[in-house]
Structure 1
Amino acid sequence: MTLLEVEGLEVTYPGGVAAVRGVDLRLDAGRKLGVAGESGCGKSTLALALLRLLPAGTRVGGRILLDGEDVLTMKWGRVRAVRWAGASIVFQGAMHALNPVHRVGDQIAEPVLLHRRATAAAARRRAGELLERVGLPAARASAYPHELSGGQRQRVMIAMALACDPRLIVADEPTTALDVMVQAQILRLIERSVAERDLGLIMISHDLAVLADTCDRLAVMYAGRVVEEGPARAVYEDARHPYAGALSAAFPRIGDPASRLAPHGLPGDPPDPAALPSGCAFHPRCAVALESCGTRDQALREAGAGRRAACVHVAGTAPARNPTDTGSAP
């Protein structure tokens, strides 16, 4: 069953800054979609657009269908009802997302009070239950954010995201500030929550290795567009777009001496969204660019079973007619 369908999403910030340019994605309930890319490629803007959290003055086009209902055309009362209860978000950096002057239990209880119209006592009980579900004692509900470790704060953010039993969770770099051991625990926690409650998950990260290990499918963004999409492990191990391949090569693989002794970086930076290069936006950094790449952009095309890539090197195949089903099994 299709939970989320994004069609032709365009996001332009004031001043004509095109942060997201024609993104198509689809996600089924119970499935996990990873969105990867460097900083500035449009990942977080995509996440904010899904729940209409973008700043005033931002122009948004296309459609975002959540359970068949277009988030972009909802009235504000309906949007407020959908947030937390229909879809919720785990922000990057829990210390900045949590209110430092309120106890974490009260912050978890707040959406329960608002959306479930529960009594204060019932909301407090729910907060304790959620803390225990994410591996924290219910007694920690009385703590302030500064009294918790980074991993504990991130668990609180996940508890808040689960508070009203949403159908979709958007996790924007949920483990970036954590050490690798705590990162692994948080990822397993998110995976377990998705499996137990049949949720849809969009996991955003710059780390392809994490996404390949966590998600069913992977979409790689560059300069506001999806440049490759397919089964997560296949994209990570055998990328069809040069940018996806460069991101993958930047992470050494355990047990692979070649990647450990000679890791590959990617020179340069993503382009300024306000001054994108002509043609394929990646061509100034691409090691296999052709002369035509500087003048002609590439649309997503079929690049194998269940895969799409926007590259001239797969241009011999027919353009993809519809967004690939990101909920289908790899």
Structure 2
Amino acid sequence: MSLLEVRDLHVTYGSGPHAVPAVRGVDLTVAAGQKCGIAGESGCGKSTIALALLRLLPPSARLRGEILLQGEDVLTMRWGRLRAVRWAGASIVFQGAMHSLNAVRRIGEQIAEPALVHRRATPAAARRLAQDLLEQVGLPGSRAAAYPHELSGGQRQRVMIAMALACAPSLIVADEPTTALDVMIQAQILGLIGRLVTDRDIGLLMISHDLAVLADVCDRLSVMYAGRVVEEGPARAVYEGARHPYGQALSAAFPRVGDASSRRAPRGLPGDPPDPSALPAGCAFHPRCALALDLCGHQEQVLTGDDPHRAACLRAGDLQTVPLGRTP
């Protein structure tokens, strides 16, 4: 049994004629000890999936499908069971640690709180746990007495990771965990997350717009566009040999260290992602795609086949012969 299994997940904001489809039929699987990534531009549905996993979406969201966490469907859990699953079964590391931490409480208190509430730890045991977790994420235990504003951005992100580990969850969801950090601190945080996942044999679902970051950390990768997964497979295979034009565009958007050609001729993608409330007919990517056929404007493509590296594209085999961009 997989640690996390998402089956045909649909998330819509609002209802009636003004409903906005944010996630459209997504399937994901994460096993214990596995690191999986979701990549895509802003607005593709990545963070909506992260919040849906623990039912943290606003009341306006309508969910359909299944989210099985260790065999239990999160979408049908009673409130008491859901409260117990949060932190202890799965926890989330949000982007922007300064906005997620309480500015007027010491960080040790904030790390200890999940253990006090969910593990029924004594105050003394919770304080010791907070200090131990800080040391596990590379900070002195004495920093438990600090306030968030007394820490650097990288240190605050480490505090968020320590907090996520406080109840020994089986799954960690990391939503853009290195946003706004410099590249050296980003590398440290990503290495830390990877080591903790391996050492504790837990699952990781990491969300980012940066395909290169996910390829370095994750085992498997899903690329999302307009609420759908358009490509999935082994992380390195997706990054280095994308089979969907959008996956290739994401990969090409970041120059590769040591690759002079990519540094001198960086490639982007013209146009903007579609408005979720007014998606184009057929494949949602076709207005921006250099390989689009007439059929692409009428027929939406889905992931098919048993190949571990799959793409929802009619022209997956033609990517190396046609330039990426064209003006919509």
- TM category (shorter chain) comes to over 0.9
Counterparts of 1:169-248 in structure 2, within 5 Å, are 169-248=172-251
Deviations 1:248-280 (A, max 9, x none): 011111111111110100111111111111110
Please state how far the C-alpha of 1:290 moved relative to its aligned partner: 0.6
Q: Distance in 1 between matches of 2:229 and 2:44?
A: 9
* Match in the other structure for 1:9: 9
* Match in the other structure for 2:285: 282
Q: Distance in 1 between matches of 2:265 and 2:163?
A: 42
Deviations 1:172-217 (A, max 9, x none): 0000110000000000100010000001000100000000011000
Counterparts of 1:1-330 in structure 2, within 5 Å, are 1-14=1-14, 15-302=18-305, 305-314=307-316
TM-score, scaled to structure 2: 0.94
8 Å CA contact 2:2, 2:32 repeated in 1: yes
Instruction: Give 1:62's aligned amino acid.
Output: G
8 Å CA contact 1:36, 1:207 repeated in 2: yes
Q: Distance in 1 between matches of 2:171 and 2:61?
A: 24
The unaligned stretches of length 5 or more in structure 2 are 318-328
Q: Distance in 1 between matches of 2:54 and 2:247?
A: 27
Q: Distance in 1 between matches of 2:298 and 2:307?
A: 29
Please state how far the C-alpha of 1:314 moved relative to its aligned partner: 4.4
SS class of match (2:290): coil
Please state how far the C-alpha of 1:295 moved relative to its aligned partner: 1.0
8 Å CA contact 1:84, 1:111 repeated in 2: yes
Deviations 1:34-61 (A, max 9, x none): 1000000000000000011000121000
Please state how far the C-alpha of 1:101 moved relative to its aligned partner: 1.0
Instruction: Give 2:314's aligned amino acid.
Output: V
Q: Distance in 2 between matches of 1:216 and 1:51?
A: 23
SS class of match (2:255): coil
SS class of match (1:312): coil
Q: Distance in 1 between matches of 2:285 and 2:258?
A: 31
Q: CA RMSD in A?
A: 1.0
Q: Distance in 1 between matches of 2:148 and 2:271?
A: 37
Q: Distance in 2 between matches of 1:101 and 1:276?
A: 44
* Match in the other structure for 1:320: none
Instruction: Give 1:281's aligned amino acid.
Output: A
Runs (4+) of structure 1 exceeding 3 A deviation are: none
Count residues in correspondence: 314
SS class of match (1:170): strand
SS class of match (1:72): helix
8 Å CA contact 2:245, 2:316 repeated in 1: no
Deviations 1:234-256 (A, max 9, x none): 00000000000000011111111
Q: Distance in 1 between matches of 2:270 and 2:54?
A: 34
Instruction: Give 2:7's aligned amino acid.
Output: E
Identity %: 75
Please state how far the C-alpha of 1:305 moved relative to its aligned partner: 3.5
Instruction: Give 1:308's aligned amino acid.
Output: R
8 Å CA contact 2:40, 2:225 repeated in 1: yes
Instruction: Give 2:230's aligned amino acid.
Output: V
Q: Distance in 1 between matches of 2:172 and 2:178?
A: 15
SS class of match (1:301): coil
Deviations 1:118-167 (A, max 9, x none): 11111111100000000001111111111100000000000000000000
8 Å CA contact 1:301, 1:314 repeated in 2: no
